[in-house]
Amino acid sequence: MTVLHLCLFATFWRAVHAIHPDCAIISQLIEEQEICIQTRKREIKNQSQQGCGTDWDGIRCWRTANTGQLIHVSCSDVFQHISNTQGFIYRNCTSNGWSDPYPPYEEACAFEDDSESGTVTNYLSTLKQLYTAGYATSLISLITAVIIFTCFRKFHCTRNYIHINLFVSFILRASAVFIKDAVLFSDETQDHCLMSTVACKTAVTFFQFCILTNYFWLLVEGLYLQTLLALTFVSQRKYFWWYILIGWGVPSIVLIVWVLTRQFCDNRGCWDDTDNMNIWWIIKGPITVSLFANIIIFLNVIRILVQKLKSPGVGGNDTGHFMRLAKSTLFLIPLFGMHYTLFAFLPENTGEIVRFYIELGLGSFQGFVVALLYCFLNGDVQAELKRRLWTWQTQTHLSPSKKRQVTVTQIMMHDSTHSQTAICNGYVTSV
């Protein structure tokens, strides 16, 4: 029943709302060209032509006119989507047929000059280079962090399992951007306004899924930190599968609803437009809810920390522990959520330049910052990597008998320190 209601909303929206401005002029020209050609065929068939017949000049359809008649059209009629200039284009119907349009369309309708177009092209090119570098950096750092947390048994615990899922969501997000660009924009001769293939729809669908999972795993990080602080003695594994359901299950359900709605209600193009806001809010709504939930969690965690730090029973060591607990995630929640909240309820075309730089430019480095906070700047991770490096260097310079002695000594030291328990009971993302 919900999908049916969305379909009705979508049908109404399409009836009153224009298509994307970038594609409106192309759609208009194709439609008018077809009408013009059919009109011309009927005139030839009926032999009803007197003077100059209907003619398509590549931009405008000129209707039948009598010999000697001067016809003019307004720029706003020809290019209603991209020009408000009140200039006119003229054509004479002569005994030899239609004259060429004068003045030229680009002069009469005051299109933007090449310098303005070049500025936009340079801006978009610079932005693409920025987010390509950002996502590539994030991919390398995130994959390295996943390998570290996976290969070293010392880091196997619930907290790091959640970190790994967050890393994977960022990896998928970066990969989805590259896949989407490769499918939609690799061929510069492709008409994107008319493009509507299974491949491009699949790429956009995968992109939306990765965006959803990324935001919901950020929410899971916030939920876990709040649980860790509010319920000190609760088992960390108790809610793990609920976190999995939130991080992967909820986005999957949202995406299924969105795909079905697009397929049956608004199956246009590659599904990469946001013209129909009723359908777009299927994606945008859950993301916005997750962001506001993270803000609430952020404020609640601060409240809990302040209470614990003011408690008379909290000693110096505990104070340092709670400060370490708060450092990374409290920095992460506003850093990776507040920027989206600024645009959450604004139209999609509001502040496009700022939005693009924040969401694509700076946002592309999110994965790198997460890996930096949760892995590379972590003292326990650095200590373990240094220990493994020292072991490797030592083993390469010792005889076989010495290697066995060093190995036995290291095993005894490892068992006596119980380092894995210490790391997993603490907040391993602390910097």
CA distances to 64, 294, 318 from 37, in Å: 13, 57, 81
**Whole-number Å distance between alpha carbons of 304 and 302:** 5
Average pLDDT of every residue of the chain: 75
**Whole-number Å distance between alpha carbons of 34 and 12:** 26
Q: Which pLDDT value is given to residue 167?
A: 94
Q: Which pLDDT value is given to residue 11?
A: 32
Lowest mean pLDDT among 210-214, 310-314, 419-423: 419-423
Per-residue pLDDT for 385 more than 80? yes
Q: Which pLDDT value is given to residue 145?
A: 93
**Helix runs in 311-378, H state only:** 316-335, 338-341, 352-356, 366-371
Q: Which pLDDT value is given to residue 118?
A: 59
CA distances to 11, 14, 127 from 4, in Å: 11, 15, 39
CB 176 within 8 Å of CB 272? no
> Quick one: which H or E segment has residue 153?
none
Per-residue pLDDT for 146 more than 90? yes
Nearest C-alpha neighbor of 199 from the set 91, 271, 291: 271
Q: Which pLDDT value is given to residue 205?
A: 94
Q: Which pLDDT value is given to residue 294?
A: 84
Per-residue pLDDT for 160 more than 60? yes
Q: Which pLDDT value is given to residue 427?
A: 47
Lowest mean pLDDT among 63-67, 291-295, 397-401, 405-409: 405-409
Dihedral, CA of residue 125, residue 128, residue 134 and residue 140, to nearest 10: -110
Q: pLDDT-based confidence at 328, cuts 50/70/90?
A: low
Roughly what angle, to the nearest 10 degrees, separates helices 277-310 and 198-230?
20
Q: Which pLDDT value is given to residue 318?
A: 57
**pLDDT digits 0-9 by tens, 229-263:** 777 656 666 778 889 999 999 999 999 999 999 99
pTM: 0.71
Q: Which pLDDT value is given to residue 203?
A: 92
Q: Who contacts 309 (Cβ-Cβ below 8 Å, separation ≥6)?
A: 319, 322
Q: Which pLDDT value is given to residue 297?
A: 85
Q: Which pLDDT value is given to residue 136?
A: 94
Q: pLDDT-based confidence at 339, cuts 50/70/90?
A: low
**Whole-number Å distance between alpha carbons of 134 and 182:** 17
**pLDDT digits 0-9 by tens, 74-133:** 776 666 555 556 678 888 988 888 888 888 877 777 655 555 555 667 777 888 888 999
**pLDDT digits 0-9 by tens, 303-315:** 877 777 666 665 5
SS3 361: helix
**pLDDT digits 0-9 by tens, 5-45:** 434 333 333 323 334 555 666 767 777 888 888 888 888 88
Roughly what angle, to the nearest 10 degrees, separates helices 198-230 and 316-335?
160
Q: Which pLDDT value is given to residue 247?
A: 93
pLDDT (mean) for 287-311? 80
